[in-house]
Amino acid sequence: MPRAFLVVMDSVGIGGAPDAGTFFNGDLPDLGANTLAHIAQACAAGQADEGRSGPLHLPNMERLGLGAAMRLASSVPFPGLEAEPQGLWGCAREFSRGKDTPSGHWELAGLPVPWDWHYFPDRALSFPEDLSAFVAEQAGTDGILGNCHASGTVILDTLGAEHMRTGKPICYTSADSVFQIAAHEETFGLDRLLELCKAIAPRLHAMKVGRVIARPFLGSAKEGFTRTTNRRDYAITTPAPVLTNWVQDAGGRVHAIGKIGDIFSMSGIDTLKKGSDTRLMEYLFHAVETAEQGSLTFANFVEFDSMHGHTRDIPGYARALEWFDAEIGRLLGKLRKGDMLLLTADHGNDPSWPGSDHTREQVPVLIAGLDAGTIGQVKFADVAASIAAHLNVPAQGPGKSFL
C-alpha cells in the first residue's frame, strides 16, 4: 500500500494570487507580494549575506520544480532556479477568504472555510469590554494588559515587566483572526496559561475567532524576554470531515508533526510530535523510516513564518530555506517505492513587504515519488483530493485529484 507525506512550509508563498489586491498589510494591498521571489532577489543583490552568502541556493526543491512553479504563479522576476523539473509540479490558489494558518490548512485538507472569520479592529482598545472582563475573570486578575494589535516579540519588550509585576495576562491580536495571550512560564505559570486559553476558547470560537493562542515566555526586563516552544493553539474544530478524518475512517493512521494537531484540534490524528523545526525534521525522517503502509504524515514547519516572515528578516528566511532544502535532499533518498512526498505552503509572508502580516499569495506544489511533469494551476482543496486518490481513500469536498 502507498504512503503519503504532506509537508507545509509555513508562509513560503510564490506570489500571483488573483485576489491579492483585496488583502492588506495596513493600508497597502498585497498586490505584488511574492515571498520567494523577493528573497531570491535580495540574495542575488548581496542583501541577505548574514550567516549565508550569494544567490539563494535551493537545488533539491529546484529539481522538483520550484522555479517552474514560481514562474507559473507570477510574473515577478527572480534570478536562478532554472533547472529542468524532475518531479510533478504546479502552483495552488486559495478560495477561502483568509490568509491565515487555519484557512490555508483546512483548505489544503479539503475544506474551504465556510464562514467569514471575526477580526478585531486595529485601535487603542481592540477587544470588547465584556470580553476583556471575561478573560480577566478567568485569569483571576483585576484586568488584562495589551488589548491591542501587536507584534508578539515587541509586546514582550513593552509589557513583559509590567506583566511580571502585576500578574495580568498580556492579551493581543493581529491581522489574523486570533486572540493571543502571553504569560511568563515561571511567574504566571505555563499550566495556568494553558488552562486560561482553554477556558476562554469556546467563547472566542462562538465569535468565529479562529484561534486562541498561548504564548509562553521566559526572561526578565534586565536580560530580555524570549518566547518558548511551549506555544499552544486552540483552534475551532472543522465543521466537516477533512483529509485526516478521511484517512483514519478508511483504516489508515495519521501522524501529525508540528502544529497540525492544534490546527485540527487532534481530529483524525493518531500521533503528534512537536518542537523546533530542527526537531520536527528529525520526526519527519523517523516517519519516513517507520510510518505504516496506507498512512498519512502531515507536517508543518512554522519557523519560516514565525521567526522570519513576521519579523521581516530576509537573511534569516533565506537561511531557513537553504537548511530545509538540504534536509529535503537527504530525505528524498529515503522514500520507499510508492511513497508520495508533497511540499506546499499555506499562505505567504513576504519579508520584504511593509507591515508584519501574512501576504495573500499562491503556493508551490512539489511532488516527489511520482512521475515528472506539470499539474498546472490548481486549488488548495485539490491537494487533499490528490493525496486521498494516492492512498485509495474516498474523498469529500470540492477538490479534484490532479494525479
| 249 assigned to a ligand binding site | no
Residue 10 marked in a binding site? yes
Residues near 40 by Cβ (< 8 Å), separated by ≥ 6? 55, 56, 78, 79, 80, 81
Q: Determine if residue 347 is labeled as part of a ligand binding site.
A: yes
Q: Is 149 annotated as a binding residue?
A: no
Separation between Cα atoms, residue 315 and residue 356, nearest integer Å: 16
How much is the CA Rg of the chain, to the nearest whole Å?
Answer: 21
Q: Whose grid coordinates read 502552483?
A: 91
325 is in an annotated binding site: no
Beta bridge partners of 379: 93
Cα distance between residue 326 and residue 15, in whole Å: 23
**Closest listed residue to residue 317, CA positions, set 306, 304, 328, 302:** 304
Q: What are phi and psi of 374, to 5 degrees?
A: -110, 145
Three-class secondary structure of residue 3 per DSSP: strand
DSSP codes, 330-391: HHHTTPPTTEEEEEE-SSB--TTSSSSS-B---EEEEEESS--EEEEEEEHHHHHHHHHHHT
The reply, when asked if residue 346 is annotated as ligand binding, is: yes
Residues in binding site for Mn(2+): 10, 305, 310, 346-347, 358
Instruction: Specify binding-site residues.
Output: 10, 305, 310, 346-347, 358
